[in-house]
Structure 1
Amino acid sequence: MKDLKDSKIALIGLGYVGLPLAVEFAKKFPTVGFDINKSRVEELTKGFDRTLEVSDEDLQSVILKSSEEFNGSSKGLLCSDSIADISDCNIYIVTVPTPTDEHNRPVLTPLTKSSETVAKVLSKGDVVIYESTVYPGVTEDHCVPILERDSALKYNEDFFVGYSPERINPGDKNHTVTKILKVTSGSTPEVADYVDNLYKSIITAGTFKASGLKVAEAAKVIENSQRDINIAFVNELAKIFNLMNIDTHEVLEAAGTKWNFLPFKPGLVGGHCIGVDPYYLAQKAQEVGYHPEIILAGRRLNDSMGQYVASQVVKLMIQNELKVLGAKILMLGITFKEDCPDIRNTRAIDIYRELRTYDIQVDVYDPWADPAEVKEEYGINLISEISGEYEACVLAVAHKQYLELDLKSIIGKNSLIYDVKGVLPKESVNARL
């Protein structure tokens, strides 16, 4: 392996995870950010990140405009869609997404394709580090054979592998990549130290060296599974307490006065991690002969919350003698979380689709989401401003802009307001989850 101080790093995938990491490494190493999306590469080269995970100022401070400029530099970031630009690197960090299909089965295609790309340029002594969330065993059982096959090199003799799970929280400006403790691992003790020292060079929060690749993989996948189960519990409480006419948020506030009560709140569970990762663990569990009951029960309950919210809104409309068929409802928010443009696996879409089954017109207003992206992904035309009266309004995402709105005066004083997130003053809404 090449000495760290002489290394060139390639980041494979420049999304929410890869770009922030690439920018930090570029402050100390010559770094190439590789992505197959040409328009994404061009945009980043101009110094703009549409995901808003990296500020334009931070990006522009490290960006290099050409391969010539990169080759003459001891640090900096070259964004490229050309495999030739990563051929001279010796550390490859894979940060591609790991989604599920319509049947909630793991889709390893991005991981497969990126491994094939790396294998084409892999040389003796190189290290490949995976950050994508997977079930235990994927790195060695799925990725390594691809690297060996397409490079004609031998694992742990000619090249080496590490696994260091990403912990990025999209939209979070406090827990940024360098401020989150990093779990690291390697395919040999020597490689484990090498990978750990690499991340130590940029992670101010420190690192934790796991005992092996599978341990690191398992640690990541249970982080989000644990959160998913805890949220499922409070979502079930919300359904129970609603039937009992008890305010769930008030119950949680009271229970939260005990020092060891976990502060979870009911809501929609989407995004690229919490709503996906448990299925990866469940898949592997079933492969080894165990049916995971709690994990899958939590997933089923959380996946049902969009339909539940829609049914509660319709029930509220009927109780207040408002028309349902042909009604107009304003939905605030389509991203998967507040103050973030990420629409991947958003469960707000479940509310929209369920309301549409009642022949209700649903206008979606979201100043954070990209209208073209929403149209392409979900077939929805976002409204650019709120105008006209509505029978009801559903606050699905707690963007800070919504908290400043006087909703009753905007949508009509007789309109119903359903607060999914429980962030609006209780006296200003008709119901909340």
Structure 2
Amino acid sequence: MTPTISDTENRMDERTHGRQVVDQTESGTTLEHVEDDQRTREATICVVGLGYVGLPLAVGFAQSNYQVIGYDVDETTVERLQDGEDTTGDLSDAAVQNDDISYTTNATAISDAEYVVIAVPTPIRDDDRPDLSFVESAGTTVGSKMSAGTTVILESTVYPGSTREVLVPKLEDASGMTAGEDFFVGYSPERATPGDEEHGLSDVVKVVSGQTEAVLDDVADLYESVVDAGVHRAPSIEVAEASKVVENTQRDLNIAFVNELSVALEHMDVDTQDVLDAAGTKWNFHDYQPGLVGGHCIPVDPYFLSYRSEQEGFDPELMQTGRKVNEAMPGHVADLTIKALNQCHKTLRDSRVLVLGLSYKPGVGDLRSSKVSKVVDTLNEYDIHLEGFDPIANPDAATETFDLEVQENLSFEDFDAIVLATPHDEFTQIDPEAVASELADDPALIDVSGAIDEDEAVDAGFTYRRV
């Protein structure tokens, strides 16, 4: 049954909607700003999606004395959280055991929240088009359960226009209510950085937006209460949506430049890092390093921006070229490995190569979207015997994800080469001389990010290559 205005009025009498109150008029429900921090803290917030974005957000709100409902469709994730286990590896077991958070797979709990924050994945399809199916599904679920007067805030990465064009219709269809009259919508792009303790939720300025100035004020007040760094009020939802994909597209393009530079300099027999060190002495030179570009943001977000741009009739060639360059880097790393083995007079099909670091970035165990897998796939084409090791990632998950044997305990014995793909701290502290003594004669070290000192590696007897 569609809620009536009187239904909404009665509900708001029972509990005040945080810093906002509902004014019932003939045209429906409107939002007025209320400067009262204590009343906001009494609001209940439901976070939909308890991954690397949603869970820290739920914990952050709970630590700021909000009542929080953590909702996810994954029963295993919820059960682990109910047992007090941090499922992201970025928080702590103690943090997720906050008494102000309840974890559930029961969507009915959404109806108890004044604010619903949606933080579900937005991957790309095999054809590089955005996949917003999780946002659509969340919109249907939230819409079917939310109460009148609720404010829904999307945090998932999307292309400009998605909140109004994709999420809002799902919310309206499932609820029978009208956005801007019976419920309210905002957008605040996530800026989560897994494995980075210095840039957590409270430490990074939060971009916020709302469908009206009153909603923007309310959403800004909500996030200001948990983000010490403050908020930036975007003038529209579309600006906030675009800002997220632009942040990572900019990084993708800059990394693509130094990646292409590294390949060009490799052909010239000029050391890339030496060039960057020299160029970096100029005051306005930007420091970017070549390497593999994996993860859930940098290699994904440019596709969102390109997709939307193409819909409007403009083909963004530079963005697309940058993506092609970075997607080619795993092949370049594999090529460096083959050249190093040849230089060491190794027969490829008789060679044994150990890949150190399988996750997409140092300090995290997330194997999804790791470009190391493409390095492995290319080397497998040459019948090279490959093994891998990652001190953080789950060995069973790594074995399932990568087409190679994964060591549970690190052993260098009798390998012909090491590919240091992801420089976890455990690897940057290794002694090249001690490692070389365990390897086969004339070993090679392919150090993707330059984590090991080249002179020390060469002195230890390695044939050394880096991107």
Q: Which TM bucket (shorter chain)?
A: over 0.9
Deviations 1:230-249 (A, max 9, x none): 00000011001111111111
Q: How many residues align?
A: 420
- Supply the AA of the counterpart residue of 1:146: K
- Of 240, 250, 274, the residue aligned with 2:264 is 240
For the residues of structure 1 that align with 2:171 and 2:404, how far apart are their CA atoms?
Answer: 41
In the TM superposition, 1:30-45 aligns within 5 A as 30-45=67-82
Partner residue of 2:51?
15
Conserved? CA contact 1:170–1:342, under 8 Å: no
Which of 140, 154, 171 lines up with 1:116 in the alignment?
140
Match of 2:18 in 1: 3
- 5+ long unaligned stretches in structure 1: 65-75
Aligned residue for 1:68?
A: none
Distance 1:379 1:414 in 2: 26
Aligned partner of 1:415 in structure 2 is: 443
User: Deviation of residue 205 (structure 1)?
Assistant: 0.6
Q: Distance in 2 between matches of 1:50 and 1:389?
A: 36
Other-structure match for 1:297: 321
- Give runs of aligned pairs for residues 125-274 of structure 1, distance below 5 A: 125-274=149-298
In the alignment, which residue of structure 1 is the partner of 2:114? 90
Q: Secondary structure at the match of 1:362?
A: strand
Q: Which has the larger radius of gyration?
A: 2
* Inter-partner Cα distance in structure 2 for 1:230 and 1:155: 39
- Structure 1 match to 2:419: 394
Change (3 A) 1:111 1:410: farther
Deviation at 1:375, TM superposition (A): 3.3
Deviation at 1:39, TM superposition (A): 1.2
| Aligned residue in 2 for 1:280 | 304
Partner of 1:357: 381
User: Matches of 1:380 and 1:110 in 2, distance apart?
Assistant: 31
Q: Deviations over 1:138-184 (max 9, x none)?
A: 00001100101110001111111000000011100111111010000
Distance 1:397 1:197 in 2: 40
**Alpha-carbon offset, residue 379 of structure 1:** 5.1
One-letter amino acid of the counterpart of residue 131, structure 2: V
Q: Residues of 2 paired with 1:114 and 1:408: CA distance?
A: 52
Q: Measure, in 2, the Cα distance between the counterparts of 1:316 and 1:257.
A: 31
Q: Does the C-alpha gap of structure 1 residues 249 and 100 become closer, same or farther in structure 2, counting only changes over 3 Å?
A: same
| Aligned match of 2:6 | none
Structure 2 distance, partners of 1:349, 1:312, is: 16
Deviation at 1:45, TM superposition (A): 1.7
Distance 1:7 1:399 in 2: 41
CA distance in 2: counterparts of 1:342 and 1:241, whole angstroms: 32
Q: Deviations over 1:246-302 (max 9, x none)?
A: 111111111111111111000000100001000111111111111110001000000
1:29 corresponds to: 66
Partner amino acid, structure 1, of 2:424: H
Whole-angstrom distance in 1 between the partners of 2:218 and 2:343: 64
Distance change in 2, residues 1:80/1:103 (3 Å): same
Amino acid at match of 1:16: Y
1:185 counterpart SS class: strand
Q: Give structure 1 regions of 4+ aligned residues with deviation exceeding 3 angstroms.
A: 375-381
Tell whether the 8 Å contact from 2:50 to 2:119 is kept in structure 1 after alignment.
yes
Contact 2:189/2:240 (CA < 8 Å) preserved in 1?
Answer: yes
Paired residues of 1:133 and 1:220 also in contact (CA < 8 A):
yes
Alignment of 1:328-367 (within 5 A): 328-367=352-391
Work out whether residues 51 and 341 of structure 1, in 8 Å CA contact, stay in contact via their aligned partners in 2: no
* Range moving further from structure 2, 6-15 or 50-59: 50-59
Amino acid at match of 2:242: A
State how far apart, in whole Å, the 1-side matches of 2:116 and 2:151 are: 6
Map of 1:432 onto structure 2: 466
Give the 3 Å change call, closer, same or farther, for CA 412–321 of structure 1 in structure 2. Answer: closer
Q: Secondary structure at the match of 1:363?
A: strand
Deviation track 1:71-94 (CA, whole Å, cap 9, x = no partner) reads: xxxxx1111111122221121000
The 3-state SS of whatever aligns with 2:359 is coil
Cα drift, residue 413 of structure 1 = 4.8
Bigger Cα displacement from structure 2, 148-157 vs 85-94: 85-94
Q: Which amino acid aligns with 2:123?
A: P
Q: Is the 8 A contact 2:43 2:67 kept in 1?
A: yes
The offset of 1:58, in angstroms, is 2.2
| 1:72 corresponds to | none
- Paired letter, 2:465: A
TM-score (norm 2): 0.88
**Identity, % of aligned pairs?**
40
Shift of 1:384: 1.1
User: What residue is the counterpart of 1:70 in the other structure?
Assistant: none
The answer on whether the counterparts of 2:202 and 2:226 sit within 8 Å (CA) in structure 1 is yes
How far apart in 2 are the matches of 1:178 and 1:330? 39
Asked if the contact 2:18–2:114 (Cα under 8 Å) also holds between the matched residues in 1, the reply is no
Q: Deviations over 1:333-368 (max 9, x none)?
A: 110000111112111111111000101111011011
| 1:404 and 2:440 are equivalent in the alignment | no
Partner of 1:338, secondary structure, is coil
| Counterpart among 319, 323, 342 of residue 347 in structure 2 | 323
Match of 2:129 among 96, 105, 112: 105
Say if 2:377 and 2:403, in contact at 8 Å, map to a contact too. Answer: no
Contact 1:232–1:302 (8 Å) recurs in 2: yes
Q: Please identify, of 366-375 and 152-161, the stretch whose mean Cα deviation from structure 2 is larger.
A: 366-375
Cα shift at 1:10: 0.3
* Counterpart-to-counterpart distance in 2, 1:188 and 1:372: 49
- Whether the 8 Å contact between 2:376 and 2:403 is mirrored in structure 1 is no
Partner amino acid, structure 1, of 2:319 = I
Tell me the amino acid that sits aligned with residue 52 of structure 1.
Answer: G
Q: Distance in 2 between matches of 1:327 and 1:305?
A: 22
Deviation at 1:416, TM superposition (A): 0.4
